[in-house]
Amino acid sequence: NAGVTQTPKFRVLKTGQSMTLLCAQDMNHEYMYWYRQDPGMGLRLIHYSVGEGTTAKGEVPDGYNVSRLKKQNFLLGLESAAPSQTSVYFCASRRHRNQPQHFGDGTRLSIL
């Protein structure tokens, strides 16, 4: 009964390094989302996907890329990390567009 699993849970990067965050869901959900959470700003949508092979930009997409090659996985990439990308990243998924989103436990990313 894993739900939404995010890997890794913590990571420290140097400015300019690249990395990929993995989100996996075992609920056969169509919709998947990547958010970042910063103090006092709530959660802001980075990118989302409405189905396998599709992606779209959210509110704050700059500096990030995503891929949804398999229905159960949604990858978030940082090509050249910047200190402004220090944040907690959450992945979420839902079965239908009007159902609640299910969240992972987050990835805490620090960029020095």
Partner 1 sequence: AQSVTQLGSHVSVSEGALVLLRCNYSSSVPPYLFWYVQYPNQGLQLLLKYTTGATLVKGINGFEAEFKKSETSFHLTKPSAHMSDAAEYFCAVSDGSGNTGKLIFGQGTTLQVKP
In whole angstroms, the minimum distance from the beta carbon of 105 to partner 1 comes to 5
Q: What is the CA radius of gyration of the chain?
A: 13
Q: Is 48 in the site for partner 1 (CB under 8 A)?
A: yes
Closest to partner 1 by CB, 14 vs 97, is 97
* Cα-based distances in Å from 67 to 1, 8, 15, 59, 78: 24, 17, 23, 17, 12
In the complex with partner 1, which residue's Cβ is closer, 49 or 85?
49
Q: Which stretch binds partner 1 (CB under 8 A): 18-26, 67-75, 79-87, 93-101?
A: 93-101
Under rule CB under 8 A, residue 45 binds partner 1: yes
- Tell which one of 70, 105, 110, 112 touches partner 1 (CB under 8 A): 105
Pairing of strands 10-13, 107-111: parallel
The string over 1-40, giving b where at least 16 C-beta atoms fall within 10 Å of a residue's C-beta and e elsewhere, is eeebebeeeebebeeeeeeebebbbeeebbbbbbbbeeee
- Residues engaged in binding partner 1 (CB under 8 A): 4, 31, 33, 35, 40-45, 48, 50, 56, 58, 90, 92, 94, 96-106
